[in-house]
Amino acid sequence: MHHQHLAPVHPFERTLLVLLVSMVQGENVTSAMNVKMLNVSYNSPFWDMLDQAIKLTQDMNGRISKLSTHFNGFYAKGRGFHNRIIRCHTSSLSRPENKEQAQNTGSEVLLKLARSLLQAWVNPLHHLWAEMGDKLGYTPYHLTKALEIKSINKKVLEAMKKIIREAKFALEENVNAPVWSELASLQSTNRDTRYFAFYTLFRCLGSDSRDVEMYLKLVKCQKVQSNC
């Protein structure tokens, strides 16, 4: 029997090999730790539900942007609304001030914050759809767009409840959702007051909805890629 002699490994090559193996093992350990922190495995329905929620929020944000742009072009143009102070009813929620802070916020906090924001817009979105026709004279086409936004928001909200349960996080029945109290302004007989109420609603809705999308993407990114 002939024995095959293996060529000796150069010390530099051996060092490089050990380094590469260590890096791969390190990445695997880091990924495993992240998933364990979320208390879900890679084959858990959590990830599919999270992906679906992200897609829904992206769809919702696209619709909000289009409807908001249309409103600004036809009703807010030339009124100087952009120079006024905007107060959103969700400003009372304690949340990250920017993306950098959100990146350093735990998954449970981000998921529950997203749920609170979605819940806070259930009532305003109902009235947005209900008042657009009477107070702005919107056609059925645009009323349908508002109804779609309202419907998607509720779908994402329901998805969030399942996602939080799947992650084994405590799911409180009573969500810490701020109350919207601008219906009187939305229905005002004063056109400037009424238009500014709609303008504020669109501005705040767009900002909060984009935050929801960011929070969900960060949860996925932090736990899958570990380098967001």
DSSP 189: S
Unique residue bearing structure tokens 């609170």: 116
213 marked as part of a ligand binding site: yes
Predicted local distance difference test score (pLDDT) of residue 67 = 96
User: Which tokens sit at 189?
Assistant: 């007989």
Q: For 123-180, how does the pLDDT look when each residue is reduced to its tens digit (9 = 90+)?
A: 999 999 999 999 999 989 999 999 999 999 999 999 999 999 998 888 777 777 899 9
In this prediction, residue 2 carries a pLDDT of 44
- The model carries a pTM of 0.80
pLDDT > 50? residue 15: no
Topology, domain 44-224: Growth Hormone; Chain: A; (1.20.1250)
Instruction: Provide the 3-class DSSP secondary structure of residue 63.
Output: helix
Q: Is the pLDDT of residue 107 over 70?
A: yes
pLDDT in tens, 191-228: 999 999 999 999 999 999 999 999 999 999 887 665 66
- Are 201 and 81 in contact by the 8 Å Cβ rule? The answer is no
Cα–Cα distance for residue pair 48/54, rounded to 1 Å: 10
Q: Encoding tokens for residue 196?
A: 């500014």
What confidence category does residue 85 fall into, taking pLDDT thresholds of 50, 70 and 90?
very high
Amino acid at 223: K
CA angle 154, 158, 160 (to 5 degrees): 115
In this predicted structure, the answer to whether residue 4 has a pLDDT above a threshold of 50 is: no
User: pLDDT tens-digit profile of 23-59?
Assistant: 334 333 333 334 435 556 666 789 999 999 999 999 9
DSSP assigned state of 119: H
Task: Return the domain boundaries, the chain.
Answer: 7-38, 44-224
Task: Express each pLDDT in 175-196 by its tens digit.
Answer: 778 999 999 999 999 999 999 9
